Amino acid sequence: MNAEGKVPPVPNETPHRPEHLKMAQSLVAETRAAGGLAPVDLDKFWEDQAVAGRDPFGKDIPQVAFGASLYGECVFDELGVDEDRWRYDHDEEWRLSLNKAYNDRSEEIVGKRLLPEKSGGRKEGWPAHKKLHDVFEAENVWQAGSWWLKQSAANEEELKALLDRVEGRNIREFMLPENWAEEKERLTKLGVRPPRYRSQRGPTTFATSIYGSENLIFLIIDNPDLAARLRDNILRVMIEIATVLDEEAGDPSTAPHRWYFLDDNCALLNKEMYDFFSLPILKGIFERFCPDPGDSRGQHSDSAMAQHLPSLGSLGITSTNFGPTVEASEIRKHCPKAVIHGEMAPFTYSRNDEEGIVLEFLRDHEMTRESRGLVFATAGSINNGTRLTSMRLAMAAIQRYGRFDG
């Protein structure tokens, strides 16, 4: 905090160009003159977005694709309701009532009803199976409005013992519940789609969750053999879980060719540590489950992890969502085929920083104008506090300054 008790904004590493500042100030002035509603042709925006969203690299797209639509996280501040994420997730009647009230506003402000308003009803679902964190004995707990993994080993001796138990497990028998076979037969006849495993907390984040951040760093430095054993077991178990679920799904031709990692904590490792510990896991997973040209290989890491761009680029990443200090031009340099989801800072959006929203769009669009492939979105989560008028302003910035058709 500064002397006034306020949290200063994270400085942008790339200074905004003077002409961009004038453009942003012009659009913001029009927005304020219109009572806070940015000037945008809503029908045309969503028509053009449908084209741009299908292929952000497309030669004939009319404008930059938009990826910062608001969702349930944002209903509380917009409606003046105390935030209660647990109730919102578990009290369907309350959630749908908030969604309807929110949609009445969103339809007027951004031209769409953004949130579901109808009950999904009781849906048939496959019985829950154990996941990667269960194999590594990490308890998943709801705390401070989110799910967190509790550490399952605190030192090298505990880690060795944990890995002994992990290596001794039959993954198929461990992960599938007792009623799996009978439920599989019943649900298959009903046409209920079987579960797949194609997204995972990234290897650095997973390892720091179950073993601790400082512990992992010291482990890689001081005991690389044990670190490699942990790494190899994470990869092995991931492959086994995904293979079991693919086999249970039946027809191998239906197996999805994609994988998406969420690895915020990769920023804690330098390049050498990452290439030793985390990169082999990504490489192994991508080669096994999305090996072909055109397959989807994605990573979210809303942190300052630019040191890993060369490594990720070597894997042919096709989708990125990286931290707000990771410049779009650097991502494009190392990941030429990746759709860049970003790079607007989440706090720029949630603080409803009008000039900042426009300036960050202009910056990212300029960096990717020639290559295309930008989906203007937040570099990370969209948080409560972000208002519909800010979403409309981002749309207006795209429509006014982000067109490719002149």
**Structural domain includes residue 186:** yes
Per-residue confidence (pLDDT) for residue 4, from 0 to 100: 45
pLDDT at 10: 47
Domain that holds residue 333: 7-70+72-114+318-406
The CATH number given to whatever domain includes residue 276 is 3.20.20.210
The full DSSP string for 82-148 is ---HHHHHH-HHHHHHHHHHHHHHHHHHHSS--S--S---S---PPP---HHHHTT--EEEETTEEE
Q: What is the pLDDT of residue 367?
A: 96
Whether residue 81 is found in the same domain as residue 33: yes
- What is the rounded distance in angstroms from the CA atom of residue 268 to the CA atom of residue 224? 17
Same domain, 224 and 273: yes
Any idea how long the chain is? Answer: 406
Q: From the CB of residue 149, how many other CB atoms can be counted at a distance below 10 Å?
A: 18
CB 322 within 8 A of CB 275: no
Instruction: Please report the sign of the dihedral spanned by the C-alpha atoms of residue 120, residue 122, residue 127, residue 133.
Output: positive
- Examine residue 94 and state whether it is found in any structural domain, yes or no: yes
Instruction: Tally Cβ neighbours within 10 Å of residue 263.
Output: 26
Domain assignment of residue 303, yes or no: no
Residue 107 — φ and ψ, nearest 5°? -65, -40
The reply to whether 251 and 109 lie within a common domain is no
Contact 248, 177 (CB under 8 A): no
Nearest C-alpha neighbor of 331 from the set 289, 295, 290, 363: 363
Average pLDDT on 387-397 reads 98
Q: How far apart are CA 74 and CA 103, in angstroms?
A: 12
Q: Residue 227: inside a domain, yes or no? A: yes
pLDDT tens column, 180-238? 999 999 999 998 989 999 999 999 999 999 999 999 999 999 999 999 999 999 999 99
Mean pLDDT of 365-391: 96
pTM reported for the whole predicted model? 0.91
Question: Considering the domain boundaries, does residue 62 fall inside one?
Answer: yes
pLDDT greater than 50 at residue 82: yes
Residues 149, 204 within the same domain? yes
* 396 belongs to a structural domain: yes
Confidence of residue 146 (pLDDT cuts 50, 70, 90): confident
Domain total in the chain: 2
Share of the chain above pLDDT 90, in %: 87
| Co-location of 172 and 200 in the same domain | yes
With respect to residue 76, please indicate whether it lies within any of the assigned structural domains.
yes
- 171 and 285 in a single domain? The answer is yes
Return the structure tokens found at 335: 């990941």
Question: Is 286 in the same domain as 137?
Answer: yes
Pair (391, 336) in one structural domain = yes
Together in a domain, 64 and 148: no
**Mean pLDDT of the 49-61 span:** 96
Per-residue pLDDT band for 137 (boundaries 50, 70, 90) equals very high
> Does 289 share its domain with 340?
no
3-state secondary structure of 181: helix
**So what's the pLDDT on residue 7?**
43
The average pLDDT across 254-260 equals 94
Q: Are residues 144 and 273 in the same domain?
A: yes
Say if 19 falls within a structural domain.
Answer: yes
User: For residue 250, what pLDDT band results from cuts at 50, 70 and 90?
Assistant: confident
Tell whether 252 and 140 lie within a shared domain: yes
Lowest mean pLDDT among 61-75, 142-156, 209-223, 341-355: 142-156
